[in-house]
């Protein structure tokens, strides 16, 4: 019979890899958007600059970067916990 810890650990690590790929894609997309925005921000009036900052935050939110980072952190914690449980069960 397969160790239940190994099965859970494999699932969590697989999900983490998937989240890492999604985060990489989101950050790459955001970098392209930010590059274009930086040029607009350099010449923007103070009022327009505020609007651009809000637009930037909205794009980051739409890409789900914060949610992805939080999920990856939760997965890391759970993986570490499972590994500790495996060690103490051995």
Q: Which of 24, 33, 32 is nearest to 65 (CA)?
A: 24
In this predicted structure, what is the pLDDT of residue 64? 97
Q: From first to last of its 90 residues, what are the pLDDT tens digits of the chain? A: 468 889 999 999 999 999 999 999 999 999 999 999 999 999 999 999 999 999 999 999 999 999 999 999 999 999 999 999 888 876
In this predicted structure, what is the pLDDT of residue 2? 62
Neighbours of 19 (CB within 10 A): 19
The whole-angstrom separation of Cα 9 and Cα 63 is 27
In this predicted structure, what is the pLDDT of residue 89? 78
Terminal C-alpha separation, the chain: 16
């Amino acid at each position: 019979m397969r160790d239940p810890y190994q099965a859970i650990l494999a699932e969590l690590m697989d999900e983490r890899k998937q989240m890492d790929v999604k985060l990489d894609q989101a950050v790459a997309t955001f970098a392209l958007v930010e590059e274009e925005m930086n040029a607009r921000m350099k010449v923007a009036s103070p009022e327009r600059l505020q609007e651009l900052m809000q637009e930037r935050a909205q794009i980051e939110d739409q890409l789900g970067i914060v949610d992805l980072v939080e999920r990856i952190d939760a997965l890391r914690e759970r993986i570490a916990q499972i590994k500790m449980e495996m060690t103490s069960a051995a």
